Amino acid sequence: GYTVEFFSDVPDGQPKTLLNRHNVYQWENRIYDVWFDEYAVSPEVENAILNTVSFGSGAVAIPSSLPIDPTKLPDDMGLKSGENGVILFVKDGETVGQIDTYDIPDSVENPYADFDWLAEAGVADVLDSSLIQMAGSSVYGDWELQVESDVPDGQAQAVRRWHTFFIADRKVYDVWFDLTKISEGEYWNLMSLMTTGEPEETTLSQDAHWGETFLSDDGTVTFQADIYYDLTAPAEAGILSAPEMLAAVKREMQAGTMDGFGLGTKEMGYTDVECFVNLTDLVLETRKTDSGEEIPELIVMGTVIYRFSDGNTIGQELGIHELMALDARDGSFLSGYGRAS
């Protein structure tokens, strides 16, 4: 910060009737002015008070009703207190996310029924019509919202934030991260740590990018892959390498059909409908079969959206969810969507 003094304009030798010292600080895009009347406050008292001034201090007040533990973080991330007690997530000295708190509007009887009330609650990213929004149920919380700037394909996103909403009594906690500053893999790991206390299972992420649009073998489904992964990571013993996993995912997805992804278009009589499947993340997990055998599985995460000829869509309300599980040893299909029963 810096200091500015203001005093009364009087002739030389005449006592000043006004002498105010302003101590100005900048923090989080705001200017804070801590000032004193030098005739009313002694230098000792002023210095003692200034020594207590701390913006973004380490003393973080965590609400008792917050249904997650934000202190469960990786070693390279910490917490800081922001304006009005907002909890900030900090990595390498940079704010990468935060927790906002909103009152659930009195008009909302059941906040679990839908998420339309988030706009009425005042969530800024919901109110911003310039952003592309996708909302639905959440893997770790009650509702999930992903927003990004509307830019041409291939152009870097200026805005990319992922929100997870947790409902507690008549409040909703908005835990969000800036995905231009952390990776998707880091995001899922953070949410897992704060909700379960355990890190996310190994995620293929970060260094290389699989971005491709392709069709199912029968031509009824359009797939968009947007997955980051580590091309150089050595394959674990008995498990496919990253490129082999991607090839298996594409092969098994292409074997899927429109009806297999959840909407029985034939039975319901729909003839003019399109199906879009977005692949967003791959996660390695060890799961037990009914017989007790432990199998390394490759979990494919993503979204499914059906678009009708009148422009209406369904499916986005589900948000990102598990689409398919493959055997990570050979890439064979185990369970999930894509296969019509």
Give CA–CA dist 169/171, Å, rounded: 6
Residue-level pLDDT at 117: 93
- Tell whether 168 and 214 lie within a shared domain: no
pLDDT, position 259: 80
- In a domain, residue 232? The reply is yes
Whether residues 180 and 82 share a domain: the answer is yes
Q: Are 147 and 132 in contact (CB under 8 A)?
A: yes
The neighbour count for residue 286, using CB atoms within 10 Å, is 11
Write out the H or E segment, with its range, that includes residue 108. none
CATH of the domain at 123: 3.40.1000
Domain count, the chain: 3
Residue 268 CA to its chain's centroid (Å): 35
Q: Which of 169, 196, 223 is the last residue of a domain?
A: 196
Number of neighbours of residue 326 by Cβ within 10 angstroms: 25
The predicted model scores a pTM of: 0.52
Task: Say if residue 6's pLDDT is above 70.
Answer: yes
Q: By the 8 A CB rule, do 225 and 212 touch?
A: yes
- Three-class HEC string of 257-307: CCHHHCCCHHHHCCCCEEEEEEEEEEEEEEEECCCCCEEEEEEEEEEEEEE
- For residues 227 and 108, membership in a common domain is answered with no
Decide which of 196, 228, 261 is a domain's last residue.
Answer: 196
DSSP class of 140: S
Residue 202 within any structural domain of the chain: no
pLDDT confidence of residue 326: 93
Residue 238 shares a structural domain with residue 325: yes
Q: Do 128 and 186 belong together in one domain? A: yes
Q: Are 191 and 218 contained in the same domain?
A: no
* Residue 55 within a domain: no
pLDDT tens, 119-135?
A: 999 999 999 988 888 88
Q: Express each pLDDT in 68-85 by its tens digit.
A: 999 999 888 999 888 777
Please check whether residue 341 lies inside any domain of the structure: no
The answer to whether residue 64 sits within a structural domain is no
Position 201 in a domain: no
Domain identity same for 327 and 224: yes
Q: Which domain holds residue 128?
A: 77-196
pLDDT at 265: 57
Give the tens place of pLDDT for each residue, 233-266. 556 778 888 888 999 999 999 998 888 886 665 5
